[in-house]
Structure 1
């Protein structure tokens, strides 16, 4: 995408490029603030929405099951919204996804309790998560390709890193607000109404993201070529029919990344509460600090990948999570410093994956089918292995077998490490097709 010769920003990126980063990132912040608020506050609202059977873990298990259900809408979002982005442009798709996320957040905010509405309460909760799952799957497909296509030569790793910079900002806002509410309000107030506050805020700020995205510039010429009759409209599954090996590669790349990501950034505070009786409020504070550290790592490692390549970064991540989960989680104690050290150390290796996930995925497919080609296999893998991580961990705790969870993470890391070493070619210097 051509840019006018304006003065560069302080980091050497033309201001027009900065506007592109903001358009993708601000909307992404809204998307993920809403998405993660659910996970951080599930431990508070679970007994309000689901019937209490007398087993304290059953409502929480139900909440994480709905969390997983939301993930299973993500492949549909990646496919449908990805195909929409390939046909009509990235900007139009990103506008659609943020409207969906705001609607889902508002629905969560007004979900009635089980005591007030009976089975209607969990039904509304499931509907809201389905809407959000569709939105998040489509958001990754559209925003990922938009970011990478906006990057100048030699900066795709840096631009790619803003996918998780913005995701982490959304998480930080969600975690930080949850921590503040948990410290300011009593457990009774959090259980009754406090958990609704962030969802209301998410619905409101989605309007801000919508406004900012209106100023974005389109990065794909395919939509205009289709309108002018110069090319045929890409078919829904064209990416799979023409590039099945590349679709399979994205699955292999993502397996370890997604289970490690949702374990370390989302489930670890709950894991600490379940295994060593870690204080709820303190675990949210640790999560907020470690997420800030994680966010800072993204552009640094993204720039590093533009120098050394994508494969070395992915191999470092794979080996780290092949070796570290069992000893690190085994060291966890009811200590603030212990949880903080374990979470930050894991995030150093995790950032070797997250900082370049958008780049490596986008570099595999041509522009014509890039959004759907990236969105569907990625979101399908995240649904199967990422969205189920909290559910599997909680279920193992319920079965008195939580010691198996770190081994599960390491086993999936072995799968992806083999892909990085034996099947993946370096894409850093390849031009986008």
Structure 2
């Protein structure tokens, strides 16, 4: 068992979803708090003086006024798009053809995939992201590279081989059978190893034939322990394309549902332009809807209905959508979620934003019993936030009367400079 360490600072955790209950019931905040970690787990959270008295010989790390909370959980990313983030001026389909597909062609090279995986994990760690759910490319080498890098870092991640057998360049197409076979082999190789989990990954309906979607639906039936990730109703022209390819479908969601790709462990990225039937079915099965606000504004997709979907009791996570999303930062993503919600006449509280980036995303991944909160027994993935990381933020925080007024400027203006430290599996060493 690794050495125990007592981290001192402000602490922020959740007893419940702050969308559902008042803040005083949902939030657990210690102004002078501490977190005891050891063996990769959170062992205790509470008042710092009490914890110091109970563990007098334990090594301490004192973060002063900084805020200790759960590490950020990024619920939808494309690590192979690291190098093309912030590419100029395209709608979704043109963006895929102009930027995404040419870059993803390079991931047949295992060395190139390994280099990008290392770069991606370095960049995301600098932004306090401790867990992410990534699409890879069609190449098994891209999955191996991602999981190898995560394994070396003792990091909890989810990933899967992207499957496409039409409407993509020849070098990026597999087949219904090879998608099934490759995915099944990768599940056997990686799923459940250390802190690694596999997600069955059809990119989206337009790039899969009915035969491929059926094969992946069958695979999910055989491996219900796995997550399944895909895209849903991101742009209106995408929806028209989907319905033209699947004229028998009732709506976009039905192109997954008819092939066994709708379920509780499904993660549906974007989910902006949903019909009433789709919303009802997603709620009925308890699926995860993943909000990607910087991507939705950057590519001009639309405004996610956070207020309405949360009021319905939908399961919602938050994500950067690197590299359609324009930042690796979950702070920037929270700020964009706030702005998008405002345009839909919903004002999100700082507590709700932090919850979405931690406990909410963890719950969408069905990992709330492992990560996403400052709770004894969970894995010790933590981020330490400097709430006065720049002069701009510090002058505003100095006027704050409570935690939320101090935290909100960091959400809206913070970047990697606000990340004072990151602990992954109980260690702050890479």
- TM-score normalised to structure 2 length: 0.25
> Which of the two has greater strand per residue?
2
- TM-score normalised to structure 1 length: 0.25
Larger RCO (CA within 8 A; separation ≥ 6): 1
